Amino acid sequence: MSITVAKFGGTSLADANQIRKVQNILKADAKRRYVVPSAPGKRTPSDQKITDLLYLCHTHVQQSVPFDDVFQIIAQRYLEIVRDLGLQMDIRPHLEEVKRNIAAGASADYAASRGEYLNGLILAELLGWDFVDAAEVIFFDEHGIFDSEKTQAVMSERLSKHSHAVIPGFYGALPGGEIKTFSRGGSDITGAIVARGVGADLYENWTDVSGFLMADPRIVPNPKTIQQLTYRELRELSYMGASVLHEESIFPVREAGIPVRIKNTNAPEDPGTLIVRDLEPAPKTGAITGIAGRKDFTVIAIEKALMNIELGFGRKLLSILEVNNISFEHIPSGIDTMSLVIADAQLKGKLDRVLDEIRRELKPDSIEVHPNMALIATVGRGMAYTPGIASKLFTALAKENINVRMINQGSSEINIIVGVETEDFERSVRAIYAAFVD
Ligand code: ASP
């Protein structure tokens, strides 16, 4: 029988009412046999996330400040959840153990991971499913790097013994058994690892939105939901700023070719967004999948006569960046020009030194710095090999009187990136959306 792994985010498990919804969702489909919970998240926009409070407890201990009050808020949340769900279990000994360990100087990772751990215990009790501690099935090596091989071997063996199980998200264990977490939002990664571990047919990621939107709703009013996209399109969009799913969570399922469906716990009948393998045939419709973008880039434009025949120019330029520990986004070039497009965060405090080194080592005729650039990616595999796409995009921008400072089309033709002035960013996104979607 086919298997679905369902991961639920913090808002889906924020209180007993939400957890009941999760229970109903799991009951509604017998294929949902493995569940990965986050820690309780915010119940209202001004509420606190349990994970944040746990980190706070740890910081208090580090500063030798009493943390009883903060811990009391955490304990209260769990006690309320257990009570409101009408469960017989006693969560107090678990809370006391966590408190004792934090007081005794346990690591920040240990403290933070307990949010998922405790929530997992409660969910397992409610569902009557087995609890499998993530520390027993997810492993990191001695450098703290996720050990995919060991995890895959141990997890698939272990979970084959449980027809239904709850595996808390966000953490695993180091070789010595100490707890190690993924980066923030990392329960998405756990869900993907479990999906691969059990050879799932589908990884459902339940959150509080009905899928990915085609554009940022703060810029485009009521953008449409993306019904289906490939892993690669998702990667392009999330790299350029769109967020719903933790970036690293794509890789385990992508490797195994397991589709991911983003679903809304508060509107389970909504179809959500399906992320499919890159191999799916592209519909050559000219339609786009989504638009994403980021601000705060700087362009360093370098000009030198006969640059095109100067052997090693590009290598020397890029090694200046490497030596200064700067990664770049794009390098548009012409016959005698080469530009570096770099995120401002990368250049911070280093710009003058980089310019000096370029002048000294490459002796350019001119070098100019243009700050305040924004990049916008228009992504869609339906655009590939379809004539007229670029013209539509640039016409839309021209009609709005927007000056395009840079153009870059990825070799896969699923992405056209344009650079515009930061002040034109929002207008540009709206213009592109209107041209392709409305
Ligand atoms: N609870 C963790 C966090 O807040 C992990 C997660 O929710 O995915 O980052």
Tell me the per-residue pLDDT of 3-49, one tens digit each, with 9 for 90 and over: 999 999 999 999 999 999 999 999 999 999 999 999 999 999 999 99
**What pLDDT score was predicted for residue 355?**
97
d(CA 78, CA 293) in angstroms, rounded, equals 39
CA of 84 to the centre of ligand 1 (A): 23
Average pLDDT of the residues of the chain: 94
Q: Of all atoms in ligand 1, which is nearest to the CA of residue 184?
A: 9
d(CA 351, CA 355) in angstroms, rounded, equals 6
CA of 202 to the centre of ligand 1 (A): 22
Distances (CA, A) of 288 to 202, 223, 385, 433: 25, 13, 13, 9
Q: Of all atoms in ligand 1, which is nearest to the CA of residue 49?
A: 4
Which three-class secondary structure string do you get for 10-32?
HHHHCCHHHHHHHHHHHHCCCCE
User: Cβ < 6 Å from ligand 1: which residues?
Assistant: 10, 38-39, 49, 51, 115, 169-170, 184-188
CA of 221 to the centre of ligand 1 (A): 29
Whether CATH 3.30.360.10 fits 290-436: no
Which residue minimizes the CA distance to atom 2 of ligand 1?
A: 185
Q: How many CB atoms lie within 10 A of CB 298?
A: 17
Q: Of all atoms in ligand 1, which is nearest to the CA of residue 182?
A: 5
CATH 3.40.1160.10 range(s) for the chain read: 4-276
Q: Of all atoms in ligand 1, which is nearest to the CA of residue 39?
A: 1
Residue 387's pLDDT band (cuts 50, 70, 90): confident
Among 215, 258, 257, smallest CA distance to 237 is for: 215
Cβ within 8 Å of residue 316, ≥6 positions away: 361, 362
CA of 261 to the centre of ligand 1 (A): 19
With the most atoms of ligand 1 within 8 angstroms of its CB, the residue from 13, 38, 110 to mutate is 38
Per DSSP, 146 falls in state B
Cβ within 8 Å of residue 143, ≥6 positions away: none
**What pLDDT score was predicted for residue 414?**
85
**What pLDDT score was predicted for residue 383?**
82
CATH 3.30.2130.10 range(s) for the chain read: 290-436
- Which of the residue ranges 93-102, 243-252, 364-373 would you say has the lowest mean pLDDT? 243-252
CA of 273 to the centre of ligand 1 (A): 21
> CATH number for the 4-276 domain, one of 2.60.450.10, 3.40.50.300, 3.40.1160.10, 1.10.1200.10?
3.40.1160.10
CA of 38 to the centre of ligand 1 (A): 6
